[in-house]
Every structure is written in C-alpha cells, then in structure tokens.
Structure 1
Amino acid sequence: MIRTLKLAASAAALLALAACGDNGGGGSASGARSGIWAAGSSTVFPFATRVAETFARGSGGAAPRVESLGTGGGIQAFCQGVGPTTPDIANASRQMKQSEFDLCAKNGVTDIVEIKIGFDGIVIATARNGNGFNFELNDLYEGLAKEVPGADGQFVANPAKTWNQVNAGLPNQRIQVYGPPPTSGTRDAFLELGMTPGAKLVPAVKAIEGDKDRFEGIAHTLREDGSWIDSGENDNAIVQTLTRTPGSLGVFGYSFLEQNLDTVKAETIDGVAPTADTIASGEYPLSRSLYIYVKKAHIGVIPGLQQFVQEFLSEGAAAKGGYLADRGLIPLPEDQLLAQRATIAAMTPMARPAK
C-alpha cells in the first residue's frame, strides 16, 4: 500500500511538472519524462558521461542523457523553463552570466543550484613534434585579436602573419589556431583569462579600458582571416587536427591534453606549464573552475536527480585518485569539496551573478 501511494505521488508530481512545462518558456510539454537530462559544456561532457555510466550501474536504471551543446547552448536550453522538455542540469566550463540567470528567471526557472565540481585549465597546444612556444599573455592578444594598435596608436586590422612578428622570441611560424566557437565556455574563459589580461598589457588598449564596450570589442573579437579557426564543440576534433596540420596550434581543455600526451604537447604561458598543481593553485594563468547548474524544481520529481548530482562529488569520483581525476579533472581541495557537498545536500539556490 505504501509503495502504491509513493508511485502515485511520483506520477502526480511528474504530471505537475509537465503542466509547469506547458506554462513556462520552454513550450508545450509532450508528456512526463523520468530519465535525467544534462546538457552543456564539451569540456564537462566526458566527466558527466562517466558519472552517468557509474550512476546507471549503481542504480540499475538507464544512464542519464548527457548532451554536448557548449556552455552557452546548454544554459540557453536549461533556462527555457521548468518541465520535462527542458534539461535538469546545465554543464558549464564557466560561471553562469547575469544575463543567463535573468533569462532563467523570466522563464520561471527561479531556484538554480550552482555546484563547482573541480578545476581545469585552458591549454594552447601543438603537435608533439612541433616547435616550442613560451607565450606571454600579451602575445595572445597581439597575435589573435582582429584589431590591434598601429604605429600611430589607431586600431587597425591585425597585420601579423607569423608568431615572430608578434614576439621575436617566438618561432617563425604562421599564426593558425584552431579553437572553440562562440557558444563554448572554453572560448569565453579564453577571452577572459587570456585575451583580456593580455590586451591590458598593451598601452593603447589599456588606455580605453574605461570604455567597457569599446575595450571588450577590441579585446574579445578574434581574427576572421584564417588565423583563428572556429572548430566546433569537440575538443577531440581539435586535438586530431593538430596532428594533421603541421605548424598549427589548438585551444582546448587540460583534460583533453592529459588524454592525448602521446600526440600533442602544451605550450607555456608566462613561463608556467599547465599541470594539475599549477592549475589547482592558480599559478597557471589560464586556470578555471568547472560547474554544473541544477534546476531545483526538478528535484524529487525526476527520479534519482539529486543522487546523480551527489555522485559528481562522491569520494570515488571527485577525490584525489577518483575516476574523474583519471579523466583529467583536477579535484577540489577538501574544504571546498565539503562546502559543495553541503550545497547539494541542502540544494541551496545561488544568488544572482554580479555580471
């Protein structure tokens, strides 16, 4: 009798969630959904799929659905409303933006739980047998920005064809970089952690920092002349391209470097190589945190959702030596790990982002 009542309550909750989906910004819900659904970052994708596989083995049910749409694409889908036609989780390789949080709120997604799952770095890599680079942060801006200051201080189309034209200490090698598209959180992080501080080291760009829109337009707009090539939401494809395209560079997550050290190598930035230690400490300039965002309204309605989220930070997954570390995720220090577990236990909603 008790089991029957529980099943009836669960079915009623799913129907209520479907009704929410009908009324929200996510469009008409075609019916209840029992399986867990996560979408977003291509960097988080291999970690989320590994968690999904482990969760399915432990629960005896179907593996949660995990989609690689890019951070921006995943959050957009997540924010379309509450209900079975929208993801339960957005995977992200950066923090949610204020504009995204506001989109969620507009569509009725009001209680969002932000969970940091670990650290990653953005690497600039080349084929294993390629030339070595020691980039300075300003080299990234001066080599890859669409516009740079000319001799008279006015901004002009970037004329540099080879890296030694940017910095005499770099190889005489054409500027050709394969990287993530605008929907990618890796791209957003590369702009914020690499291009922005690099641009501030150039006096003419630093001088316009007070004009936020102008500064971001200059610092964040990448070349469109073939020097920067958008390569889709697939970091593995970029790795493979480097082995087929001698002299090219690629921008992707550290975890993909770890898995392909037999074919590619990372270059240093400001003399620091990306390692688990330099990324966790923040010494490596392009270090970042990885996140999942959970729709609290789906907890208790989508079966197993909270337990799936807990698996991300379980001892077997997230601790040093855990199966996510084996895939290249850099674990949180113990105090942060405990804090994130407490957030999951209480499903504490995040505050509106500052920017």
Structure 2
Amino acid sequence: MNRILKTAAIAAAVIGVTGVAQAREQVRIVGSSTVYPFASYVAEEFGATTDFPTPIIESTGSGGGMKLFCNGVGEDTPDITNASRRMKVSEFERCMENGVTDITEAMIGYDGIAFAQSSTNEPVDLTLEQIFLALAAQVPVDGELVANPYTMWSEIDPSLPEREIIVYGPPTTSGTRDAFGELVMEAASEEMEAYGGEAYTDIRTDGAFVAAGENDNLIVQRLSENTDAFGIFGYSFLEENADTLSGASIGGVEPEPEAISSGEYPVSRSLFFYVKNQHAEEVPPMYEYANLFMSEKMIGPMGYLKGLGLIPLPEEMRAAQREAVKNHEKLELSDLQ
C-alpha cells in the first residue's frame, strides 16, 4: 500500500472509531413539528446568550427524526431529535444496531392534540367514537365492517353539523399521527363490539382525510381557506391561532392547559427530546443547549415555553427530568417496555 492510501486508510479507521471526523460548534437537531416551536425558541435564546452559534433545527416529524438520529454516530448525523411521543422499542433497537448506544431521554412537558376548526363555525362537541367513525377506513354498518360510507358529519349523528367530512392531518412519519392513532383510533375501536376488542387504526384513503405534511402551519392555513374542514395538530398551534381557530371539545372537555396536564382531556400526550451522548466531545455546546431547554425559565410554570403552548410537568417530574439530562442518564431498553 502506498503512503497516500495508507494515510487515507488510517484516517478512515480513526473516523470509524470516533464516529465524528471533527469538532463542530453548531448543534444539529431534527424531529417533531409539534416540538419544533419550543426547540426553536430555546435555540434562538441559546444563540443570543452564549458564544455558540444558534443550533440548526429541521422539522422532519418524530418518525423521520428518529430514523436520522438512529442512522449512526458521526458528523453527518444529528445530535438531538425531538419527538411528540416516546421512542419506540424498534427505534431504540435500530439505534443500537447502528452504534448509537448512549442516549439520554428528556421529557419536556405535555401537549394536547387539538381537533380544530375555523372560529367562524359554531362550537362542536365530539366523542372519540364519532371522530373514529369519520376517519376509519372500515366502520360497522348493520353489524358488518364495510368501507366507510360517511361523507357528512350529520350522517354519523344527526346532532353533528351538516358539513362534509374533510380532515387535514399529519402524515405517517409524524408523532402527532402516532399519538392520534393510539389516543383516538385505538381507544375508540377497542370499545366497539364490531372490532372484537381489537385496536383498529387504519385511516380512510378516499379523500376525507388529507395528509397535509409535517408543517402544522399549513394545516392552520387550510382551515382558513376551507371553513368546513377540521384539522389535527398540537395544542400549541391552536393557542397560537386562537383568533382564527377553535378546538372541538371531546367528551365535553375543552382542550385547555389544566385539562391536558391532568389527563382529563382524552387526547393528551408527553413531549420529548433525545440526546446522542456519543457526540458530546465533538459537539461541545450540545449539553449546554439541553440544560437550557430543561431549565425552569424554559419549561417551568412561569417559563417562556408555556407562553408558546407547552403544558408544564409537575414540579417533581420536572426536577427528575432535569437531573436525568444533567447527569446524561443512559436510556435502557427496559425503560421503553
């Protein structure tokens, strides 16, 4: 082997062992569109108050972020991924297979999934079953499961508006879609005799449900253009657009902070970010950013992020999560099972 090839081989081997070719000072973050507004605020504050550049954040969806995060350890992989649901066992295992073996989980707070409409409409109160019947691919009719025949909300229940069923929602890569599947579709179908107690989460594909991309602002925009439609997105986007949108109550419960944090609002979930500890030496500001995110001034009851729609965790939980991040606590498979 000549000297040039030998040198290149040694360099490649070193990069393969360390995982990151060279140090960088800009944190790279991917993941959930729901967590994006919160992470962006922290990133801007971090850039303004430290000597490090503002982190780069991409809104890829929770599933897309996990895929990128778990691709491996190296300069071309993200340091942190945001998620609007907890990491799945399959994602954790993929991380391990690709050498991402030291991860810290951070729960930042709660969020509710809003089923929202233009505020020009009358208030609507829906049940989980009614939402399910509007969106499921197959529904029970006369004791048989058939392709969903409903085109109007009033066909599901005469008390509902005489409006066409059009719902703008997140794509399959979104944590919001995962959470909606679990908290609405699964919860409703398991209580319906026609499904034999089994969870059913297939969404209809005949145009009644429209996957509107990872940018929840696009769904907000579409609701102003089509006032008959509903949209599915995180509570923070509802609060941010309270002048033009209203959230349907579900089971008589309004999507409000107190109801979301208590779990009374039935479509509530936890929000997370995940830190790749193996990048710590090569990305010096990574932990500083994570600690700022977990600080009281960000996620506390009087914190900046509450003003953006984040529902704070109880005090003891916030303290425990803060310590886990500060101590770089390693996520184990058993934590997810």
* CA distance in 2: counterparts of 1:307 and 1:285, whole angstroms: 35
Letter in 2 for 1:266: G
Could you say what secondary structure the match of 2:217 adopts? helix
Could you say what secondary structure the match of 1:52 adopts? helix
**4+ residue stretches of structure 1 with deviation over 6 A?**
none
Structure 1 position 59 matched with structure 2 position 40: no
Structure 1 position 163 matched with structure 2 position 160: no
Which residue does the alignment assign to 1:95?
Answer: 86
* 1:189 equivalent among 164, 179, 195: 179
Structure 1 position 287 matched with structure 2 position 287: no
Which residue does the alignment assign to 1:43?
Answer: 34
Instruction: Report the identity percentage.
Output: 44
How much has 1:198 moved relative to structure 2?
1.1
Structure 1 position 107 matched with structure 2 position 70: no
* 1:321 equivalent among 299, 302, 309: 302
Which residue does the alignment assign to 1:335?
Answer: 316
TM-score, length basis structure 1: 0.88
* 1:82 equivalent among 73, 81, 88: 73
For the aligned residue pairs, the C-alpha RMSD in angstroms reads 1.7
Letter in 2 for 1:285: P
C-alpha distance 265-303 of structure 1, shift in aligned 2 (>3 A): same
* 1:232 equivalent among 208, 213, 235: 213
How much has 1:251 moved relative to structure 2?
0.4
Which residue does the alignment assign to 1:252?
Answer: 233
Could you say what secondary structure the match of 1:316 adopts? helix
* CA distance in 2: counterparts of 1:133 and 1:93, whole angstroms: 26
Could you say what secondary structure the match of 2:146 adopts? strand
C-alpha distance 77-134 of structure 1, shift in aligned 2 (>3 A): same
C-alpha distance 72-166 of structure 1, shift in aligned 2 (>3 A): same
Which residue does the alignment assign to 2:117?
Answer: 126
* CA distance in 1: counterparts of 2:278 and 2:288, whole angstroms: 15
* CA distance in 2: counterparts of 1:354 and 1:314, whole angstroms: 25
Aligned residues of 1:20 and 1:83 also touching (Cα < 8 A): no
Structure 1 position 146 matched with structure 2 position 143: no
* CA distance in 2: counterparts of 1:20 and 1:327, whole angstroms: 41
How much has 1:149 moved relative to structure 2?
1.8
Aligned residues of 1:18 and 1:32 also touching (Cα < 8 A): no
**CA displacement, residues 15-41 of structure 1 (integer Å, 9 cap, x when unaligned):** 99843476xxxxxx7754331111000
* CA distance in 1: counterparts of 2:52 and 2:13, whole angstroms: 23
How much has 1:186 moved relative to structure 2?
0.4
**CA displacement, residues 163-195 of structure 1 (integer Å, 9 cap, x when unaligned):** 111122211111100000000000100010111
**CA displacement, residues 214-245 of structure 1 (integer Å, 9 cap, x when unaligned):** x4xxx211111111000000111101110110
The unaligned stretches of length 5 or more in structure 2 are 1-11
Aligned residues of 1:21 and 1:84 also touching (Cα < 8 A): no
**CA displacement, residues 127-179 of structure 1 (integer Å, 9 cap, x when unaligned):** 0111322111111211100111231x332100011111112221111110000
Aligned residues of 1:18 and 1:84 also touching (Cα < 8 A): no
Which residue does the alignment assign to 1:276?
Answer: 257
Could you say what secondary structure the match of 1:250 adopts? strand
* CA distance in 2: counterparts of 1:249 and 1:315, whole angstroms: 35
Which residue does the alignment assign to 1:25?
Answer: none
* CA distance in 2: counterparts of 1:16 and 1:93, whole angstroms: 37
**CA displacement, residues 235-273 of structure 1 (integer Å, 9 cap, x when unaligned):** 111011101102100000000011100100000000000
How much has 1:201 moved relative to structure 2?
2.4
Aligned residues of 1:279 and 1:287 also touching (Cα < 8 A): yes
Letter in 2 for 1:129: T
